[in-house]
Chain A
Amino acid sequence: LAKTTQPISMDSYEGQEVNITCSHNNIATNDYITWYQQFPSQGPRFIIQGYKTKVTNEVASLFIPADRKSSTLSLPRVSLSDTAVYYCLVNTGFQKLVFGTGTRLLVSP
Protein backbone atom coordinates (compact mmCIF):
# COMPACT_ATOMS: atom_id res chain seq x y z
CA LEU A 1 0.00 0.00 0.00
CA ALA A 2 1.23 3.48 -0.89
CA LYS A 3 2.04 5.55 2.18
CA THR A 4 1.51 9.31 1.94
CA THR A 5 3.56 12.10 3.49
CA GLN A 6 2.35 15.69 3.84
CA PRO A 7 3.52 18.76 5.78
CA ILE A 8 1.92 18.83 9.20
CA SER A 9 0.81 22.44 8.95
CA MET A 10 0.78 25.50 6.69
CA ASP A 11 -0.11 29.14 7.22
CA SER A 12 -1.49 31.56 4.64
CA TYR A 13 -3.39 34.82 4.29
CA GLU A 14 -6.69 35.55 2.66
CA GLY A 15 -6.48 35.94 -1.10
CA GLN A 16 -3.27 33.97 -1.50
CA GLU A 17 -2.80 30.77 -3.45
CA VAL A 18 -1.95 27.75 -1.32
CA ASN A 19 -0.14 24.68 -2.59
CA ILE A 20 -0.04 21.53 -0.47
CA THR A 21 2.22 18.75 -1.65
CA CYS A 22 1.87 15.07 -0.87
CA SER A 23 4.43 12.38 -1.59
CA HIS A 24 3.40 8.83 -2.40
CA ASN A 25 6.48 7.00 -3.61
CA ASN A 26 4.92 3.53 -3.78
CA ILE A 27 1.88 4.45 -5.85
CA ALA A 28 0.76 1.65 -8.15
CA THR A 29 -0.14 1.90 -11.81
CA ASN A 30 -3.91 1.82 -11.29
CA ASP A 31 -4.06 4.06 -8.23
CA TYR A 32 -5.68 7.50 -8.20
CA ILE A 33 -4.85 10.41 -5.91
CA THR A 34 -7.72 11.90 -3.96
CA TRP A 35 -7.82 14.95 -1.68
CA TYR A 36 -10.24 15.60 1.15
CA GLN A 37 -11.02 18.57 3.38
CA GLN A 38 -12.08 18.17 6.99
CA PHE A 39 -13.54 20.71 9.40
CA PRO A 40 -13.65 20.04 13.15
CA SER A 41 -16.26 17.50 14.24
CA GLN A 42 -17.26 16.71 10.65
CA GLY A 43 -16.50 13.92 8.22
CA PRO A 44 -13.94 14.60 5.49
CA ARG A 45 -15.33 16.03 2.28
CA PHE A 46 -14.08 15.09 -1.19
CA ILE A 47 -12.29 17.91 -3.01
CA ILE A 48 -10.65 16.50 -6.12
CA GLN A 49 -9.27 13.32 -7.64
CA GLY A 50 -6.75 12.77 -10.41
CA TYR A 51 -4.56 10.20 -12.12
CA LYS A 52 -1.93 12.25 -13.95
CA THR A 53 -1.09 15.75 -15.26
CA LYS A 54 -3.63 18.33 -14.14
CA VAL A 55 -7.21 18.27 -12.97
CA THR A 56 -9.25 21.35 -12.15
CA ASN A 57 -12.69 21.85 -10.69
CA GLU A 58 -14.57 24.79 -9.22
CA VAL A 59 -12.68 24.75 -5.92
CA ALA A 60 -9.16 23.42 -6.58
CA SER A 61 -6.54 22.14 -9.00
CA LEU A 62 -4.50 18.99 -8.69
CA PHE A 63 -1.07 18.69 -10.28
CA ILE A 64 0.51 15.27 -10.72
CA PRO A 65 3.96 14.93 -12.34
CA ALA A 66 4.79 12.23 -14.84
CA ASP A 67 6.34 9.87 -12.27
CA ARG A 68 3.21 10.21 -10.08
CA LYS A 69 5.28 9.96 -6.90
CA SER A 70 3.86 13.20 -5.61
CA SER A 71 0.89 15.47 -6.10
CA THR A 72 0.08 19.08 -5.30
CA LEU A 73 -3.29 20.44 -4.30
CA SER A 74 -3.66 24.07 -5.29
CA LEU A 75 -6.27 26.28 -3.64
CA PRO A 76 -6.61 29.61 -5.45
CA ARG A 77 -7.30 32.77 -3.43
CA VAL A 78 -8.02 31.13 -0.07
CA SER A 79 -10.47 32.59 2.40
CA LEU A 80 -10.88 32.20 6.15
CA SER A 81 -13.36 29.39 5.53
CA ASP A 82 -10.61 27.31 3.91
CA THR A 83 -9.02 26.82 7.33
CA ALA A 84 -9.23 23.06 7.72
CA VAL A 85 -7.22 19.85 7.60
CA TYR A 86 -6.42 18.51 4.13
CA TYR A 87 -5.72 14.85 3.47
CA CYS A 88 -4.32 13.20 0.41
CA LEU A 89 -5.23 9.58 -0.10
CA VAL A 90 -3.98 7.07 -2.62
CA ASN A 91 -7.19 5.59 -3.96
CA THR A 92 -6.13 2.05 -4.59
CA GLY A 93 -7.95 -0.81 -6.20
CA PHE A 94 -7.39 -2.62 -2.92
CA GLN A 95 -10.13 -1.84 -0.47
CA LYS A 96 -7.88 -1.00 2.47
CA LEU A 97 -7.71 2.81 2.39
CA VAL A 98 -5.25 4.30 4.86
CA PHE A 99 -5.07 8.03 5.47
CA GLY A 100 -1.92 9.96 6.31
CA THR A 101 -1.68 12.57 9.04
CA GLY A 102 -3.04 15.43 6.92
CA THR A 103 -2.01 19.08 6.62
CA ARG A 104 -3.54 21.64 8.95
CA LEU A 105 -4.05 24.86 6.96
CA LEU A 106 -4.59 28.10 8.85
CA VAL A 107 -5.77 31.10 6.84
CA SER A 108 -5.42 34.47 8.55
CA PRO A 109 -6.98 37.84 7.66
Chain B
Amino acid sequence: DAGVIQSPRHEVTEMGQEVTLRCKPISGHDYLFWYRQTMMRGLELLIYFNNNVPIDDSGMPEDRFSAKMPNASFSTLKIQPSEPRDSAVYFCASRISGREPPTDTQYFGPGTRLTVL
Protein backbone atom coordinates (compact mmCIF):
# COMPACT_ATOMS: atom_id res chain seq x y z
CA ASP B 1 0.00 0.00 0.00
CA ALA B 2 1.20 3.49 -0.78
CA GLY B 3 1.92 5.62 2.25
CA VAL B 4 1.45 9.34 2.57
CA ILE B 5 2.89 11.05 -0.51
CA GLN B 6 4.38 14.52 -0.39
CA SER B 7 5.78 16.70 -3.13
CA PRO B 8 8.17 18.17 -3.75
CA ARG B 9 10.76 16.49 -1.50
CA HIS B 10 12.98 19.56 -1.65
CA GLU B 11 12.16 23.15 -2.46
CA VAL B 12 14.55 26.06 -2.66
CA THR B 13 13.07 29.46 -3.29
CA GLU B 14 13.80 33.11 -2.82
CA MET B 15 12.25 35.32 -0.20
CA GLY B 16 8.95 36.74 -1.35
CA GLN B 17 8.05 33.87 -3.64
CA GLU B 18 4.95 31.73 -3.25
CA VAL B 19 5.52 28.15 -2.16
CA THR B 20 2.99 25.32 -2.47
CA LEU B 21 3.49 22.00 -0.75
CA ARG B 22 1.33 19.04 -1.67
CA CYS B 23 0.10 15.97 0.15
CA LYS B 24 -1.82 12.85 -0.76
CA PRO B 25 -3.01 11.01 2.35
CA ILE B 26 -3.39 7.27 2.65
CA SER B 27 -6.57 6.18 0.86
CA GLY B 28 -9.50 5.89 3.26
CA HIS B 29 -7.95 8.05 5.98
CA ASP B 30 -10.26 10.80 7.20
CA TYR B 31 -7.77 12.94 9.14
CA LEU B 32 -4.94 14.94 7.59
CA PHE B 33 -2.30 16.89 9.51
CA TRP B 34 0.36 19.41 8.51
CA TYR B 35 3.45 19.73 10.72
CA ARG B 36 6.59 21.84 10.61
CA GLN B 37 9.88 20.60 12.06
CA THR B 38 12.82 22.79 13.03
CA MET B 39 15.77 22.31 15.35
CA MET B 40 14.61 25.16 17.54
CA ARG B 41 10.95 24.26 17.93
CA GLY B 42 10.76 20.54 17.17
CA LEU B 43 7.57 19.19 15.57
CA GLU B 44 4.79 21.76 15.49
CA LEU B 45 1.24 21.05 14.40
CA LEU B 46 0.14 23.71 11.94
CA ILE B 47 -3.38 22.61 11.00
CA TYR B 48 -5.48 19.49 10.72
CA PHE B 49 -8.54 18.42 8.78
CA ASN B 50 -11.24 15.87 9.42
CA ASN B 51 -13.30 14.80 6.40
CA ASN B 52 -11.73 17.67 4.43
CA VAL B 53 -12.89 20.28 6.97
CA PRO B 54 -10.26 22.28 8.92
CA ILE B 55 -10.65 21.48 12.61
CA ASP B 56 -7.83 23.42 14.24
CA ASP B 57 -5.62 25.96 12.50
CA SER B 58 -4.30 27.60 15.65
CA GLY B 59 -0.79 26.44 14.83
CA MET B 60 -0.61 28.33 11.55
CA PRO B 61 2.08 30.95 12.17
CA GLU B 62 0.45 33.87 10.42
CA ASP B 63 -1.71 34.90 7.51
CA ARG B 64 1.04 34.10 5.04
CA PHE B 65 0.23 30.44 5.61
CA SER B 66 -2.90 28.80 4.23
CA ALA B 67 -4.00 25.21 3.78
CA LYS B 68 -6.75 23.61 1.77
CA MET B 69 -8.18 20.16 1.35
CA PRO B 70 -10.46 20.23 -1.72
CA ASN B 71 -11.08 16.47 -1.58
CA ALA B 72 -10.25 13.40 0.48
CA SER B 73 -7.12 12.60 -1.50
CA PHE B 74 -5.34 15.93 -1.74
CA SER B 75 -4.21 18.81 0.41
CA THR B 76 -1.98 21.84 -0.10
CA LEU B 77 -0.06 24.09 2.24
CA LYS B 78 0.75 27.46 0.75
CA ILE B 79 3.13 30.14 1.96
CA GLN B 80 2.81 33.54 0.33
CA PRO B 81 5.07 35.44 0.54
CA SER B 82 7.79 33.13 1.86
CA GLU B 83 10.47 34.32 4.30
CA PRO B 84 13.82 32.80 5.35
CA ARG B 85 12.40 31.93 8.78
CA ASP B 86 9.95 29.59 7.04
CA SER B 87 12.85 27.27 6.18
CA ALA B 88 12.02 23.92 7.76
CA VAL B 89 10.88 20.40 6.98
CA TYR B 90 7.12 20.23 6.47
CA PHE B 91 5.39 16.93 7.11
CA CYS B 92 1.96 15.72 6.18
CA ALA B 93 0.38 12.88 8.15
CA SER B 94 -2.92 11.04 7.98
CA ARG B 95 -4.91 8.70 10.16
CA ILE B 96 -8.18 6.82 10.16
CA SER B 97 -10.78 7.00 12.88
CA GLY B 98 -13.48 4.64 14.04
CA ARG B 99 -11.39 1.47 14.07
CA GLU B 100 -11.45 -1.22 16.76
CA PRO B 101 -9.24 -1.28 18.79
CA PRO B 102 -9.08 2.50 18.84
CA THR B 103 -6.15 3.88 16.99
CA ASP B 104 -4.63 7.32 17.13
CA THR B 105 -1.74 6.32 14.93
CA GLN B 106 -0.72 8.96 12.46
CA TYR B 107 1.25 7.94 9.38
CA PHE B 108 3.77 10.48 8.20
CA GLY B 109 4.96 11.31 4.72
CA PRO B 110 8.66 11.73 3.91
CA GLY B 111 8.47 15.49 4.28
CA THR B 112 9.32 18.50 2.14
CA ARG B 113 12.55 20.27 3.00
CA LEU B 114 11.97 23.98 2.31
CA THR B 115 14.80 26.45 2.06
CA VAL B 116 13.96 30.12 1.61
CA LEU B 117 16.94 32.22 0.61
Q: Do A and B come from one complex?
A: no
**Interface set of A (CB-CB < 8 Å, partner B):** none
**Interface set of B (CB-CB < 8 Å, partner A):** none
